[in-house]
Copies of this chain bind each other. A is one copy, B any other.
């Protein structure tokens, strides 16, 4: 229990693990049989995510197969004051899944049924473990799609819990805009619906939006009702290279300010392009690049594309290249989604410290440039990818985990970037969430009174602090 502490977690108050009482473990085994496991390999698999933190694993893993399973685990855990950490696809980036106070990892990945699709209403209700690719494969034949795309094939429950967004958010919004309602299990084991299937409602407090982004700290998301969209009649993607990141970002700003309904507008810096060229065997020009996509009727896509091409030209964009076939588009977007892994392979054995600031779009160019100046001065290798249409970008610092000085440098650079984003009226996290690591940033951004309100809500809805304790705030 007293494993050495991950030095990256120096910001986070040290929490004592709470023991899993034998009585509770026996009750779990009785109900769940082999679906409750304390095998070390399984616990370790459930005790890490895509974050770089080392924390001892949970004490047991339980696989839920129904809402009632979830409610039963919570009722038991609440009675025994044992932490419960919901686990979906394991793709979170901020240590959301880590058992900092021990307890149970509640795996909902077997809750992977698509419960209802209403094509005529453009809605679907899915169990929390359904992934976005699974949903899209299912609804494509009905001419529909679900646009939220955080890169990883995350579960819808996890995406709701972190308020995920990704490449399509500039046009379609984030999970905040696209979740109509949830069924959540409360810490005392009740199941409650938070919304209807109506497109809008003014019926009381917006419980849906309270759970969306709550990172598993208020309850467990059992199912998710989302908005769907008709597959666009026409889709067209394009890449365009620029002499500088500044020119690429200024192009983006102009596109947004003119109200072009662009569906995706992604920035890759030269490092990221180089990495994906190598990983995906592409021959993209190794310069700052915008990767864009347009959705609409044939005529509207053509019109948007012409307008964007004109804007890009004004900013000396070159090598404007179209990908109109589905295969070409898929190759490009696959490369974009591989950027993170591709970059890791540029420095064998490295780990990546990823930032996630989001600023008002007028501040984006200055914000990125200052961050580049700082990282260049530090000598750390890095890459940038960004959902720049939203003012959101990720800088990945590639560090050698064995060299504490590199970790410290990455932390310092990240903190500088976040301070700047907050000064510019932006946020420390556009889409990854707070988790373990950004708790100090949240305090700096929202202020003590706002974080105190969040804590008050947490205490009221989870008085025994069993739901993913130690996340968002200490």
A contacts, CB < 8 Å to B: 118-123, 162-165, 169, 173-174, 176-177, 186, 190-194, 196-207, 209-210, 212-214, 229-230, 232, 253, 256-259, 261, 296-297, 299-300, 303, 356, 358-363, 390-392, 421-422, 425-434, 438, 441-442, 445-447, 449-451, 453-454, 456-461, 472-473
Check A213 against B206 for contact (C-beta < 8 Å): yes
Tell me, in angstroms, the Cα distance from A303 to B454 when the chains sit together.
47
Check B361 against A121 for contact (C-beta < 8 Å): yes
A428: chain B residues at CB < 8 Å are: 203
A176: chain B residues at CB < 8 Å are: 200, 206, 209
Between A191, A210, A232, A461, the greatest number of chain B beta carbons within 10 A of the residue's beta carbon is seen for A210
A119: chain B residues at CB < 8 Å are: 257
Check A362 against B121 for contact (C-beta < 8 Å): yes
What is the oligomeric copy number?
Answer: 2
Q: For the complex formed, measure the closest distance between the CB of A28 and the CB atoms of chain B, giving whole angstroms.
A: 24
Tell me, in angstroms, the Cα distance from A392 to B432 when the chains sit together.
34
Tell me, in angstroms, the Cα distance from A433 to B205 when the chains sit together.
10
Q: Residue on B with the closest CB to A356?
A: B202
Task: For the complex of A and B, list the 10 residue pairs with the smallest distance between their C-beta atoms, beginning with the closest.
Answer: A209-B209, A460-B460, A230-B259, A201-B427, A120-B362, A121-B360, A192-B449, A197-B425, A198-B358, A163-B202
**Contacts A230-B257, A362-B120, A460-B457; A210 near B201 (Cβ below 8 A):** no
Check A358 against B201 for contact (C-beta < 8 Å): yes
Tell me, in angstroms, the Cα distance from A223 to B120 when the chains sit together.
39
Q: Residue on B with the closest CB to A425?
A: B197
Q: For the complex formed, measure the closest distance between the CB of A437 and the CB atoms of chain B, giving whole angstroms.
A: 13
**Contacts A229-B259, A454-B207, A456-B460; A196 near B121 (Cβ below 8 A):** no
Q: Residue on B with the closest CB to A230?
A: B259
Tell me, in angstroms, the Cα distance from A432 to B204 when the chains sit together.
11
A197: chain B residues at CB < 8 Å are: 360, 425-426
A447: chain B residues at CB < 8 Å are: 192-193
Check A122 against B449 for contact (C-beta < 8 Å): no
Q: For the complex formed, measure the closest distance between the CB of A146 and the CB atoms of chain B, giving whole angstroms.
A: 14
A204: chain B residues at CB < 8 Å are: 213, 434, 442, 446, 450-451, 454, 472-473
Check A457 against B169 for contact (C-beta < 8 Å): no
Q: For the complex formed, measure the closest distance between the CB of A446 and the CB atoms of chain B, giving whole angstroms.
A: 6
A427: chain B residues at CB < 8 Å are: 196, 198, 200-203
A296: chain B residues at CB < 8 Å are: 300
Q: What are 27 sample pairs from A and B whose C-beta atoms fall under 8 A apart?
A: A163-B202, A177-B177, A197-B426, A198-B390, A198-B392, A201-B429, A202-B356, A202-B430, A202-B433, A203-B427, A203-B434, A203-B438, A203-B445, A204-B434, A204-B446, A204-B472, A204-B473, A205-B213, A205-B472, A206-B212, A209-B210, A229-B259, A230-B258, A230-B259, A297-B303, A300-B300, A456-B461
Pick from B199, B214, B259, B430: contact of A361, CB below 8 A.
Answer: B199
Tell me, in angstroms, the Cα distance from A78 to B72 when the chains sit together.
40
Tell me, in angstroms, the Cα distance from A449 to B358 when the chains sit together.
36
Beyond the given pairs A198-B391, A206-B209, A206-B213, 20 more chain A to chain B contacts, judged by CB atoms under 8 angstroms and listed by A's residue number, are A121-B362, A122-B256, A194-B450, A197-B360, A199-B358, A199-B390, A200-B392, A201-B430, A202-B213, A202-B427, A202-B430, A203-B427, A204-B434, A206-B206, A261-B261, A299-B300, A300-B300, A300-B303, A457-B457, A460-B460
